[in-house]
A and B are shown apart, each in its own frame.
Chain A
């Protein structure tokens, strides 16, 4: 099978409009990391198990390694690069720093984006809600306790909410 031709698609990434030419056999992860140099999104298992490639698609967390780039056409993608405003970290990022919820850091972008989707929907989650939300994001350093503490601190329960 020869390479399929490129297709021109429009999508919004971190609030900016993009028009990109992409082949149908490229994943959203490849488009972000290799074509747009948005390398904050990490490639882990690359088969959907680990969650390190998590991005938000129209506000919901998805695995960018399992999504074809062309399927993100006319959708709104948020990557970890889209959270901080100028030099000011997003409150969830700041909570991760403050509570030492980062060890090697490889799972952090996916964890933080999953936490953002949770807190956007439920600003005052219980610990069980947090555990459920991040159950698809693996931390190989096993730093889960501090991650849960950080998310709780960023929530309304921890007085970190809006």
Chain B
């Protein structure tokens, strides 16, 4: 498959990159998501701004009671960082669950967060897609996953964003002459057609996570068809604070691959507050977790099966977060 023609800029400073983005260019990070999309003809940018030479975006550093991770930090660095493994087990496990080690060498934190949403009817070669009219996400007016569907049901399949959201991370978003700090969930529009709230010339330059409070632990669990080089079919990240007696004081649970954005489960913390894992009402938990989830047949496993697995994966994430070091690594 040939890439479409495009002009490439390779700035070495952020200021240069911001100026180049003003002409409607697309930012290129590691390229492990964007390059295949371009090969499939799903993204056809006339100009790419590669951020690979912007060295100031490649670092993991302690800063003001938290940790700042530059957007161009590779997943390999994230997956071998002691600062990350000791403080943010959910993020560490999420990084190690992405694809496979050779992809970690190139893929980046910013690129993983900003990857496009996916669908069995969209992420296909041009020849495959020609057999059907273009779907909503490809610029047409039908949804092949849900006949007569009026909205796009593509699924956000990033691993890092649910973990970062459970950890309460903030994303730094910058453009020429301006910057803002938003929660990870605020980066998402909940619209599969255009999953992000970023303006055209904006770049996610990094994420900031506050160091966890005492007795706080986190975990990420992911269900997928094969144990490597696969996107999540359902994932869950939990961040749990417990008291000395093991009773849960606070919990934040975020689901991944259940819709066009990571989904915070409202009320999950309240349900468990003041209880140990054994005392918790797991039946009510299962009901709550699956309540607002609508999954359709647009990934490699049926939506009905994936929906049934949501409370199971979520429960695994919560239990693992209550184990030492966020539980063993993802199976």
B225 CB–A CB distance under 8 Å: no
Instruction: Looking at the assembled complex, report how far the CB atom of A80 sits from the nearest CB atom of chain B, in whole angstroms.
Output: 15
Total A-B residue contacts, Cβ distance less than 8 Å: 91
**Complex interface residues of chain A between 1 and 60 (CB less than 8 A to chain B):** 1-4, 23-27, 46-51, 54, 57, 60
Q: How far is the CB of B290 from chain A (nearest CB, A)?
A: 30
In the complex, A109 has a CB within 8 A of chain B = no
Chain B residues, CB < 8 A from A23: 5
CA distance A46 to B105 in the complex (A): 18
Q: Which of B95-103, B184-192, B241-249 forms contacts with chain A?
A: B95-103
B31-A62 in contact (CB<8A): no
B13 in the interface, Cβ–Cβ < 8 Å?
A: no
Instruction: Indicate whether A61 reaches chain B with its CB closer than 8 angstroms.
Output: yes
Give the contact stretch, choosing among B19-27, B32-40, B85-93, B313-321.
Answer: B32-40
Contact check: which of A1, A60, A70 meets B105 at CB < 8 Å?
A: A60
Is there contact, CB below 8 Å, between B106 and A62? yes
- Tell whether, in the assembled complex, residue B101 and residue A135 are in contact, meaning their CB atoms are under 8 Å apart: yes
State whether the Cβ of B323 lies closer than 8 Å to any Cβ in chain A: no
Q: Does A78 contact B (CB under 8 A)?
A: no
Q: In the complex, what residues of B have CB within 8 A of residue A68's CB?
A: 8, 31, 35, 50
Chain B positions within 8 Å of A46 at CB level: 1, 39
Which residues of chain A come closer than 8 Å to B8, judged between CB atoms? 4, 24-25, 68, 70
How many residues on A have C-beta within 8 angstroms of the other chain's C-beta atoms?
34
Q: List 21 A-B contacts (CB under 8 A).
A: A1-B6, A4-B7, A4-B8, A24-B6, A26-B3, A47-B36, A48-B36, A50-B229, A51-B100, A61-B101, A63-B32, A63-B103, A66-B36, A67-B106, A68-B35, A71-B50, A71-B52, A133-B101, A135-B100, A136-B102, A138-B229
The interface of chain B, by Cβ under 8 A from chain A, is 1-8, 10, 31-32, 35-36, 39-40, 44, 46, 48, 50, 52, 76, 99-103, 105-106, 227-229
**A interface with B by C-beta (< 8 Å):** 1-4, 23-27, 46-51, 54, 57, 60-63, 65-68, 70-71, 114, 132-133, 135-138
